[in-house]
Homo-oligomer: A and B are copies of this chain.
Amino acid sequence: MVRILVNGYGTIGKRVADAVSLQKDFELIGIAKTKPDFEAKLAIEKGYSIFCSIDKNIDLFKKEGLDVGKLEEALDDVDVVIDGTPDGIGAQNKIMYQKIKKKAIFEGGEEADIGVSFVAQCNYDKAINAPYIRCVSCNTTGLCRTLGALQGFGIEKVSATLIRRSADPNDIKTGPINALVPDVEIPSHHAEDVQTVLPISNIMTIAIKAPTTLMHVHSLTVELNEKQNEDTIIDTFKNTTRIRLVNVKDGIKSTAHIMESARDMGRKRGDMYEICIWQDSIKIKGNTLYYLQAIHQESNVVPENIDAVRAMLNLDSRDESIKKTNKSLGII
């Protein structure tokens, strides 16, 4: 049993903690939090041990009747830390993990040099035995999964416009409420980030924020080595793990309908781990392929965090790990 602690219990951290506790080969030692809020109380109800990452806040937990330990003490006892703290804190925490010689997994908000950039189905082997792994961001993971599936056709050039959700559903502070906000830095950072995972030399990404909380949408233009037909592409996506084809003709007309379908499927928290490609949008013109995909930013990197543990401890092959993770999360 791999003993795991999840440091940070926000949007990603709490999902990863739940996913860890579903693995037969993992044991969730506990989670680290800084505040005794409703998420802490619900974690206790689930039976998770909480460790406080800020010593002076332990009293705040006590006042709320929550019994918590100290993070440092808990760390002695774990094999791997999964660090879901806010952007940039992971880098600070890495120093601590290095000192106590613990392997650690970081999220996509950290700089690329913190560890091996990782998307399970794209470069699992590169992460085998790595001390530090960085699960790349939701957008980069989404681009890598579907571009990775197309690599067999020879990718000449990629151009992607990313329409980003501006805030997560539980973030009430961040706007805009009614505006489109372009990132005028072209290319956006995503292009380079994809290249930390996939060997695509010619990639351009442009990002624009929209006032929605549900999902990102990517408009993709991919020049292939030679002309393919649409059915071949559809089959390829169908046969690639963690990609799901959705259809307007089935009533999946928007990001809202994808989220609705995830809720209807009974997915925990209504999560959609798979990158959803609108099958109706797949279009070939000359050598160029066009398609539209949606990314559930709250959950799509959750499977990567699990596979990263198995890779860094060399427990399973890529396919074995993905199979186990998928099964535990209900990904078919």
A residues near B (Cβ < 8 Å) are 14, 35, 37-39, 41-42, 159, 161, 163, 165-167, 169-182, 184-187, 204, 206, 208, 210-215, 217, 219, 221, 246-248, 250-257, 259-261, 263-266, 268-270, 278, 280-281, 283, 285, 288, 290, 292, 294
User: Which residues from chain B contact A169 at a C-beta distance below 8 Å?
Assistant: 178, 256, 259-260
How often does this chain occur in the complex, in copies?
4
Please state if A251 and B35 are interface contacts (CB–CB under 8 Å).
yes
Give the distance to chain B from A301, nearest Cβ to Cβ, in Å. Answer: 17
Please state if A159 and B42 are interface contacts (CB–CB under 8 Å).
no
User: Which residues from chain B contact A206 at a C-beta distance below 8 Å?
Assistant: 161, 219, 290, 292
Please report the C-alpha to C-alpha distance between residue A274 and residue B115 in the assembled complex, in whole angstroms.
45
Please report the C-alpha to C-alpha distance between residue A214 and residue B37 in the assembled complex, in whole angstroms.
21
User: Which residues from chain B contact A166 at a C-beta distance below 8 Å?
Assistant: 175, 177
User: Which residues from chain B contact A212 at a C-beta distance below 8 Å?
Assistant: 177-180, 210-211
Instruction: Specify which of B39, B176, B248, B270 is in contact with A270 (CB 8 Å cutoff).
Output: B270
User: Which residues from chain B contact A252 at a C-beta distance below 8 Å?
Assistant: 38
User: Which residues from chain B contact A173 at a C-beta distance below 8 Å?
Assistant: 174-176
Please state if B257 and A186 are interface contacts (CB–CB under 8 Å).
no
Chain B residue nearest to A298 (CB atoms) is B263
Please state if A250 and B37 are interface contacts (CB–CB under 8 Å).
yes
User: Which residues from chain B contact A174 at a C-beta distance below 8 Å?
Assistant: 173-175, 177
Extra inter-chain contacts (10) besides given A159-B159, A266-B269, CB under 8 Å? A38-B257, A42-B265, A165-B180, A172-B176, A179-B254, A180-B215, A180-B255, A182-B281, A210-B212, A263-B268
Chain B residue nearest to A281 (CB atoms) is B184
Please state if A208 and B175 are interface contacts (CB–CB under 8 Å).
no
Please state if A256 and B42 are interface contacts (CB–CB under 8 Å).
no
User: Which residues from chain B contact A163 at a C-beta distance below 8 Å?
Assistant: 161, 163, 180, 208, 210
Chain B residue nearest to A262 (CB atoms) is B269
Please report the C-alpha to C-alpha distance between residue A42 and residue B250 in the assembled complex, in whole angstroms.
11
Please report the C-alpha to C-alpha distance between residue A270 and residue B239 in the assembled complex, in whole angstroms.
30
Please state if B204 and A285 are interface contacts (CB–CB under 8 Å).
yes
User: Which of A180, A221, A285 counts the most B-chain CB atoms under 10 A from its CB?
Assistant: A180
Chain B residue nearest to A170 (CB atoms) is B260
Please report the C-alpha to C-alpha distance between residue A175 and residue B292 in the assembled complex, in whole angstroms.
21
Chain B residue nearest to A278 (CB atoms) is B184
| A264 and B39 contact, Cβ closer than 8 Å, known pairs A219-B208, A257-B172, A281-B184 | yes
Please report the C-alpha to C-alpha distance between residue A39 and residue B250 in the assembled complex, in whole angstroms.
8
Instruction: Specify which of B35, B175, B184, B266 is in contact with A268 (CB 8 Å cutoff).
Output: B266
